[in-house]
Amino acid sequence: MGDKPIWEQIGSSFVQHYYQLFDADRTQLGAIYIDASCLTWEGQQFQGKAAIVEKLSSLPFQKIQHSITAQDHQPTPDSCILSMVVGQLKADDYQVLGFHQTFLLKSFQGAWVCTNEVFRLALHH
């Protein structure tokens, strides 16, 4: 991993950490957000660490497993990292579904946090 640009290393590490926490215990995700963070989940807007964790914790399934198909990371002009993830998830006994998720990461008080996040299932209506 040392031959990858630093933003790819940070982005990949964040993505791995995020999905490990999400799959194990969504209530622990608060550590990656700040009070100014924004989440758009299937078109619904949530702002602030508490609102985001409440939304993620209240999702209507008991267990979930994510499988990452691809991830791309870019540095932004203001020293943030834009990360896009494509993958599949399996929640409880439901069918496997595709998803897309985008994160904007910012260094904040010595740690990388998620300031913006957008999630969509890959459904075609």
CATH number at residue 24: 3.10.450.50
Is residue 100 within 8 A of residue 85, CB to CB? The reply is: yes
Question: Counting beta carbons within 10 angstroms of the beta carbon of residue 33, is it exposed (0 to 12), middle (13 to 18) or buried (19 or more)?
Answer: buried
Domain hosting 111: range is 6-121
Question: 51 falls in which pLDDT band (50, 70, 90)?
Answer: very high
Amino acid at 58: S
Determine the Cα–Cα distance for residues 115 and 106; give it in Å rounded to an integer.
Answer: 7
Residue 24 belongs to a domain: yes
> In this predicted structure, what is the pLDDT of residue 7?
94
In a domain, 1, yes or no: no
Whole-number Å distance between alpha carbons of 97 and 95: 6
Tell me if residue 23 falls in helix, strand or coil: helix
Say yes or no to pLDDT of 1 above 80: no
Name the pLDDT band for 63 (thresholds 50, 70, 90). Answer: very high
**Domain count of the fold of the chain:** 1
Residue count of the chain: 125
Mean pLDDT along residues 61-85: 97
Q: Is residue 103 part of a domain?
A: yes
